[in-house]
A and B are shown apart, each in its own frame.
Chain A
Amino acid sequence: MIRETISDKQAISMMTMFIIGSSIVLGVGSEAKQDIWLAIIIGILFASIIIFVYVKIHSLFPEKNLFEILNTIFGKYLGKFISLLYIWYSFHLGALVFHNFFQFIKVVSFPETPEYVPLVFMGIVCIWVVKEGMEVLGRMSFFFTILLTIIIILVISLNSSVMNINNIRPMLYNGIKPVLNSAFGIFSFPFAETVIFLGAFSFDKNKNNPFKIYYISLLFGGTIILLVSLRNILVLGCSFLESLYFPAYTAVELIEIGEFIQRIEVAVSVVFLYAGFIKISSCLFCTLKGIENLFNLDSYKVIAAPVGLLMMTFSCSLYESIMEMQEWAFMVYKYYAFPFQVIIPLIILIAAKIKLKKQNSS
């Protein structure tokens, strides 16, 4: 097995892109209405607790990824079974992002183009970058992070002319319950999805600091999502925002500064394209690492293409329509993802502690 390492900076930017990924375009937490910003902050707080568990697992077993850890803790059979669950989760998540991606393209720009056309182009690049390895993906994410942060901040500042502060008032009009509910949704999509990196990363003990990587990227990605969501609600107002599939796109559509600066919605597509690409590649990477470990392969690279293609075909058959996608992403997903994001990592951590204690005492 080849061990690849990346620097902290690259890991941070990769995880930030992963968090921004599809959530920036789909929009998060619209059920909290005008308190969306509060919901996001609470979501980040929730996530910072569970991320502590992920960091702990990483630091207990340095230089090992999730699947190797599972094998050492739970033994051959149970370990492989839980690995299988995580392989499914990351495979499915990658397919979901693929689906979001081509639905977005289909709705906003090419309604008549068959969906597999954008899908194939995206998929080939993802397979390619994964074959090239973690380092290439890391370096690419670093470059994209700088570029996308500039684009996002520029677009938000251009949008300031149509913002209306009254759209986020009054605070907590519908009580705290919908806010907590949507905070839970935001916690599972996108913040706690970083559980994927338990499988994708295997940190170098001397080079990497998992605590720093996880928390800085949570804060950075969280801030960007907070800014974008706040922009959306300030520009569109909650009742209009709720009726849109892609609120960010519409918010940017309203930018019209003179006859000169207008029609810059493509900036949103660019952000989604790059961040979505990193997210899909990370999911694919995690799946491949899992399969490599499951079958004791020499290198995951031999199966990159078949698994990538499977992911693409799977994404086509996920939903019948965009309505189903919306319902799944905002109603079902948070409950479906809860075991993968919270329960199993907690069990792993507790089991690991017990195991290590036993080892030390014996």
Chain B
Amino acid sequence: MKFKRALLISIIFNCLFLSGCWNYREIEQFSIVSGLAIDKSENKYILTAEIIESTGGRDAKTSTKLISSEGLTIFDALRNMIRYPGKKLYFSHTKVIIISSETAKEGMIPVLDLINRDIEPRYTMKILISKNIEAKKILEAKSNSEIFCYTLDDMIDAQKNLSAAPEVEVWEFINDICKEGISASLPIVTLEMINDKSTPKVEGTAVFKGDKLIGYLNGKDTKTFLFIKNKIKGGLLTKKVDIDNNSANISLEIFGNKTKISPKFENGKLLIDISTDTDVSIGEISGDLDFSKEEIREKIKSYFEEELENQIKDLIKKLQTEYDSDIFGFGSTIKIKMPSLWKEIEPKWDEIFKTVDVNVKSKINIKNTAYTSKPIKIGD
């Protein structure tokens, strides 16, 4: 009995005081990386990382610092980074990776392999392409003491209400590269001068073919692109409308959208039907249009429907002729809907995609007109 009690006490004692991990490390021994920028020059990768430095004590503060290094491979460059802070970098809290367009043009797989293979970086990180500028310049644009990469992450998140750039996580990008019948796309970040200060701006889409960057879409085209991909979550549709000699600029706020892509094979020719169904509300009318009348609403609707249809057609034409990259995933839709046809056309899909005809039908449902039922009228 005595022996058992002693054993029990010693077990409890050991559990409390002698337990721990094999490779025990304190938080100060790590440098937490919040974001990473990858450039390439003359066969060497240049990595710039934003690391978070926290001071302990009563008035704990977090500040950030940029460190950079170069190496033959990404891993080499990462390990070389240890030299400066003298600590191992820790990637589990990294949220953003910025890759320069020059690097992306040479292929993304060498860059992504380590991120995909290593256990520390998470698959939910977001990737950005810095257009025509070195990726590290973006990180250097940081102005105040905030954690810059986390702000960038918020900026990408905010695209839900703007729809000017796609939101792509690492795993989605890898998936798009692996899958047949779809090409990958990523958001773009650039620098813009505001009040003599360069500020990052997330807008536009980088278009890939295979793992190589081949072109860009601007913010407006990106919205159309998201319409086709059925990824619109919010944003505005604006247009100048002329009804009965009354012209006004109208903004419609998007509340929901459903896009259906259905391929058809008729008379030996492939036709792709795209139909969009968008719920909007009238957000703003800068003029005197009485939208309480049904015929006026119908006219507004048809204006916008036509505009959207044209935009979608133009964008698809642009990708067919200029970039010849199937970022919409028409190929994978055909694979799902008509597997036997896809088996036939798969080897020649690049050629076929260029000549595919599309048929677009847009439908806009005005669900409400926000808080007012009539526009502001000028009394005499």
A contact set with B: CB distance below 8 Å: 107-114, 117, 166, 169-170, 173, 236-237, 239-240, 243, 250, 253-254, 256, 262
Task: Flag whether B85 is at the interface (Cβ < 8 A).
Answer: no
Q: Which residues of B contact A109 (CB under 8 A)?
A: 119
**CB-CB nearest in chain B for A171:** B339
**Chain B min CB distance to A330 (Å):** 20
Within 155-180 of B, Cβ neighbours of A (below 8 Å) are at 169, 171, 174-175, 178-179
Contact B336 A169 (CB under 8 A): yes
The contact string, 1 if C-beta is below 8 Å from chain A, for chain B 322-343, is: 0000000000100111010000
| B17 part of interface (Cβ distance < 8 Å) | no
Q: What are the residues of chain B within 8 A of A166 when measuring CB–CB?
A: 332, 336
Considering the complex, give the chain B residue whose CB is closest to the CB of A114: B22
A-B CB contact pairs (8 Å), 15 listed: A109-B119, A113-B22, A114-B22, A117-B22, A173-B339, A236-B175, A240-B175, A240-B178, A243-B178, A250-B123, A253-B122, A253-B123, A253-B124, A254-B124, A254-B171
| A110-B339 in contact (CB<8A) | no
Which residues of B, 120-142, contact A by the 8 Å Cβ criterion? 122-124
Tell me the nearest residue of chain B to A107, going by C-beta. B119
B119 in contact with A108 (CB, 8 Å): yes
Among B206-222, those with CB < 8 Å from A are none
Query: CA of A262 to CA of B22 in the docked complex: distance in angstroms?
Result: 26
What is the distance, in angstroms, from B339's C-beta to the closest C-beta of chain A? 4
Does B23 touch A at the CB level, under 8 Å?
A: yes
Cβ B123 vs Cβ A254 within 8 A: yes
Query: Who on chain A is nearest to B118 by CB?
Result: A111
Q: Check B378 for interface membership: any CB of A closer than 8 A.
A: no
Pairwise interchain contact A239-B178, C-beta atoms closer than 8 A: yes
| Known interface pairs A173-B335, A254-B124; 4 further A-B residue pairs with C-beta atoms within 8 A, sorted by A's residue number | A110-B22, A240-B174, A243-B116, A253-B124
| Complex contacts, A250 vs chain B, CB 8 Å | 123, 171
* Cα separation A262 to B92 with both chains bound (whole Å): 12
Cα separation A169 to B181 with both chains bound (whole Å): 14
Given known contacts A110-B22, A110-B23, A239-B175, is B336 in contact with A170 (CB within 8 Å)? yes
Partner of B335, one of A112, A117, A170, A243: A170
CB neighbors of A among B70-125 (8 A): 116, 119, 122-124
Among B22, B119, B175, B339, point to the contact of A237 (Cβ < 8 A).
B175
Q: What residues of chain A lie closer than 8 Å to B332, measured between beta carbons?
A: 166
Q: Are B171 and A240 in contact (CB under 8 A)?
A: yes
CB distance from A99 to the nearest CB of B (A): 19
B193 at the interface (CB under 8 A from A): no
A116 to chain B, nearest CB (A): 11
- Smallest CB–CB gap between A239 and chain B, Å? 4
The chain B residue with its CB closest to the CB of A255 is B124
Could you tell me the distance between the alpha carbons of A16 and B52 in the complex, rounded to whole angstroms?
46
Least Cβ–Cβ distance between A247 and chain B, in angstroms = 12
A170 to B124, CA, bound (A): 27
Query: Is B21 an interface residue, CB under 8 A from the partner?
Result: yes
Which chain B positions have C-beta within 8 A of A117? 22
Residues of B that sit less than 8 Å from A by CB: 21-23, 116, 119, 122-124, 169, 171, 174-175, 178-179, 332, 335-337, 339
CA of A169 to CA of B335 in the docked complex: distance in angstroms? Answer: 8
A110: chain B residues within 8 A (beta carbon)? 21-23
| A113 & B23 in contact (Cβ 8 Å cutoff) | yes
Q: How far is the CB of A98 from chain B (nearest CB, A)?
A: 18
| Chain B residues closer than 8 Å to A112, beta-carbon distance | 22-23
B179 near A237 with CB under 8 A, answer: yes
> How far, in angstroms, from A169 to B179 measured CA to CA in the complex?
13
Q: Could you tell me the distance in whole angstroms from the C-beta of B60 to the nearest C-beta in chain A?
A: 20
In the complex, what residues of B have CB within 8 A of residue A173's CB?
Answer: 335, 339
* Nearest Cβ on chain B to A113's Cβ, whole angstroms: 4
Shortest B168–chain A CB gap in Å is: 13
Q: How far is the CB of A260 from chain B (nearest CB, A)?
A: 14
**Closest A residue, CB atoms, query B335:** A170
What separation, in Å, do the CA atoms of A254 and B171 have in the docked complex?
8
Partner of A170, one of B21, B171, B339: B339
B residues near A237, Cβ cutoff 8 Å: 175, 178-179
CA distance A115 to B119 in the complex (A): 17
With a cutoff of 8 Å between Cβ atoms, the chain A residues found around residue B21 in the complex are: 110, 113
In the assembled complex, the CB of A156 is this many whole angstroms from the nearest CB of chain B, namely 18
CB-based nearest B residue for A166: B336
Q: B336: which A residues are within 8 A, CB to CB?
A: 166, 169-170
Of the listed residues A117, A239, A240, A253, the one surrounded by the most CB atoms of chain B closer than 10 A to its CB is: A240
Q: A239–B179 contact, CB under 8 A?
A: yes
Shortest beta-carbon distance from B202 to chain A in Å: 19
Residues of A within 8 A of B178 (CB): 237, 239-240, 243
Nearest CB on B from A216, distance (A)? 37
Across-interface contacts of B335 in A (CB, < 8 A): 170, 173
Q: Nearest chain B CB to A261's CB is how many angstroms away?
A: 12
Which residues of chain B have C-beta atoms less than 8 A from A262's C-beta? Answer: 124
Chain B residues contacting A239 (CB-CB under 8 Å) are 175, 178-179
Complex Cα distance A307/B21, Å? 28
A-B interface, 6 closest residue pairs, ranked by CB to CB distance from nearest: A239-B178, A170-B339, A113-B22, A169-B336, A112-B23, A240-B175
Closest to B122 in A: A253
Q: How far is the CB of B333 from chain A (nearest CB, A)?
A: 8
- Which residues of chain A come closer than 8 Å to B119, judged between CB atoms? 107-109, 111
Of chain B, the residue at the smallest CB distance from A256 is B124
CB of A257, distance to nearest CB on chain B (Å): 11
Q: Which residues on the B side are within 8 Å of A169 (C-beta)?
A: 336
A117 closest partner in B (C-beta): B22
Q: Which residues of A contact B171 (CB under 8 A)?
A: 236, 240, 250, 254
Task: Chain B residues near A256: list those with CB within 8 A.
Answer: 124
Chain B's nearest CB lies how many Å from the CB of A219?
A: 31
The distance from the CB of B210 to the nearest CB of chain A, in whole angstroms, is: 14
CA distance A107 to B123 in the complex (A): 16
B222 CB to nearest A CB, Å = 21
Q: What's the Cα separation between A262 and B119 when bound, in Å?
A: 16
Residue of A nearest to B343 (CB): A173
**CA of A256 to CA of B124 in the docked complex: distance in angstroms?**
8
| Chain A residue, CB-CB nearest to B179 | A239
Q: Which residue of B lies closest to A112 (CB)?
A: B23
Complex interface: chain A residues within 8 A of B124 (CB): 253-254, 256, 262
Distance (Å) between the CB of B147 and the closest chain A CB? 14
Query: Taking the nearest CB of chain A, how far is it from the CB of B145, in angstroms?
Result: 21
